[in-house]
Amino acid sequence: MMNPKSNLNADPQAGNRGRVLSDKSLDELRHSLAGTVIDPAAPEYDTARRGFNALINRRPAVIARCKNADDIAVAFDFTRAHNLEIAVRGGGHNPAGHYVCDGGLVIDLSLMRNVEVNPEARIARAQGGATWLDFDSATQAFGLVTPGGVVVSTGVVGLSLGGGIGHLTAQYGLTCDHIIGADVITPDGTLVHADADENADLLWGLRGGGGNFGVVTQVAFRLHPLQEVIGGRLLYRGAGVREALLRYRDVVERSPRDLSCQVSLALDESLVPILEINPCYTGPDANPETLRMLRSVPGLIQDEVRNLPFLDQQRVIDTAYGENRHYWKGHFVRELPDELLDELLRRLVALDRPPGGIMIESLHGAPKDADAPAGAAGFRHAAFNVSALAVWRDPSRDSEQIHWARETALAVEPWSFSGGGYINYMQADEPIERVRAAFGAETFDRLQKLKQRYDPHNILHRNQNIPPR
């Protein structure tokens, strides 16, 4: 069991890196699984062990591509019998690389991506490995949505369990607020169902507490009718960037319920600041005042805001998969005063080269409506999420880039909402105090008791870990 003072995310079993399982053990696993087994000799091993973040380079002893709940229970049994560490892989986008471990077993859910929609009940049921593209394609066929992430290759369950901020946050709230039920295989192999009537405390923990309690085989979400939005991107460059940032802050601080909006601050190839605003408006107005205010700032160099089918809005933001090295660090903040925005602009200049930057997500509107005891997510009352995203290719720049992200987060800290960061964006080296602060002491305490019930030996520790009580 882990030492509660430390955070096991930081490569606890790095010594197992070269661990090799015998052919007999691998055959045993192959015969027990309906899915497939990928060992280090398999041609697809290198692709299967890699994920979004090229900084993560771990070599598991085996990857179990599970096909169903029974396979997941078999994989847990196998790790117990062979004393292997476990990682769970959904969409493989976690920046900390929680989807893979050295020398252990990866429960890979990429064969479990089915999404079923009940349009009358406005409910969608997604399997544990579905991506947002799988989900949005299935629900949009009926003109329905749940607020998800902004990059469609991200995993539905991984994102939802950590909270979920995206293009429809102001309108409908956090993704995890829409989870109404789930089937979970706990590390002892038991299938547990959670909904409002059965194991309601587990449902509460799944709404923001991360992948700490078991492997979710299926999750049910509430849906809303929506097909068209006004969205896309506005791009500002040079001297106008500061004014555009202030305008963005002023627009969303009025809490328009029909406008979600996030921004990315970066430098272009000539090292001139650029700002991309990604609005998503769903109200009745063809030319809403909020968008007119954003568009009227001098320095706007590109206006690609227009009527879009929701599926196209979900493709506005994209990013290379598996090519860049990433190190992200940030804070939820109480406010976004001019002083902080100026500090962010100064930090941007210190970054020196693209493609990294600073992302600001607004949490105005519907996240504030949810009944606090309904879910574990602890950040809904913050005003914004500010994240330094260091992104680079050359390994020789690792320490310089990581340093930049850490220093930028430090500069944001005086405005921090709780001292915690967003668990979905955290790296593996975050101290447990930051994870606790992300939830608040009372919620963290309750999550620890839940962890004690469902995973008392902390088998699932490759996540932003909640050690059992």
Ligand X SMILES: Cc1cc2nc3c(=O)[nH]c(=O)nc-3n(C[C@H](O)[C@H](O)[C@H](O)COP(=O)(O)OP(=O)(O)OC[C@H]3O[C@@H](n4cnc5c(N)ncnc54)[C@H](O)[C@@H]3O)c2cc1C
Using the CB atoms, write b or e for 301-323: b if 16+ within 10 Å.
eeeebeebebbebbebbeeeeee
Range in contact with ligand X (rule: CB under 6 A) among 150-158, 273-281, 296-304, 396-404: 150-158
Give the residue, chosen from 12, 35, 60, 92, that forms a contact with ligand X under the rule CB under 6 A.
92
Binding ligand X (rule: CB under 6 A), the pick from 12, 35, 60, 95 is 95
Q: First CA to last CA across the chain, in angstroms?
A: 11
What are the residues facing 391 on neighbouring strands? 326
Beta-carbon contacts of 371 under 8 Å, excluding residues fewer than 6 positions away, are none
Interface residue with ligand X among 60, 103, 147, 162 (CB under 6 A) is: 162
Candidates 156-164, 386-394, 397-405, 439-447 — which segment interacts with ligand X by CB under 6 A?
Answer: 156-164
Residue 420 sits in the site that holds ligand X (CB under 6 A)? no
Tokens found for residue 379: 């950040």
Task: Between 56 and 297, name the residue whose CB sits nearer to ligand X.
Answer: 56
Q: What are the residues whose beta carbons fall under 8 Å from the beta carbon of 199, sequence distance 6 or more?
A: 192, 193
Stretch that binds ligand X, among 19-27, 211-219, 225-233, 241-249 (CB under 6 A): 211-219
Binding-site size for ligand X (CB under 6 A) equals 37
**Cβ-based nearer residue to ligand X, 151 or 244:** 151
Q: What share of residues in the chain are helix, strand, coil (percent, to 5)?
A: 30, 25, 45
Instruction: Kindly state whether residue 215 participates in binding ligand X, applying the rule CB under 6 A.
Output: yes
Site for ligand X contains 159 (CB under 6 A)? yes
Please, what is the minimum distance in Å from the beta carbon of residue 289 to ligand X? 26
Angle between helices 240-253 and 338-351 (to 10 degrees): 140
Instruction: Output 240 or 378, the one with its CB closest to ligand X.
Output: 378
The verdict on 33 binding ligand X (CB under 6 A) reads: no
Q: Which two tokens stand for residue 159?
A: 């994102």
Tokens of 27: 């055959």
CB 179 within 8 A of CB 213: no
Would you state the structure tokens that stand for residue 268, as one six-digit string? Answer: 């272009």
Which residues ranging from 421 to 450 are in contact with ligand X (CB under 6 A)? 424-425
Q: CA-to-CA distance for 192 and 202, rounded, in angstroms? A: 9
- Contact with ligand X (CB under 6 A): which of 150, 179, 280, 382? 150
Contact region with ligand X (CB under 6 A), list: 26-34, 151-159, 264-272, 372-380: 151-159
Name the amino acid, one letter, at 42.
Answer: A
Please, are residues 301 and 384 in contact by the beta-carbon 8 Å criterion? no
CB of 374 to ligand X, least distance (A): 18
Comparing CB distances to ligand X, the nearer of 240 and 262 is 262
Q: Provide the binding-site residues for ligand X, judged by CB under 6 A.
A: 51-52, 88-95, 98-99, 109, 128, 149-151, 154-155, 157-159, 161-166, 210-211, 215-216, 319, 424-425, 462-463
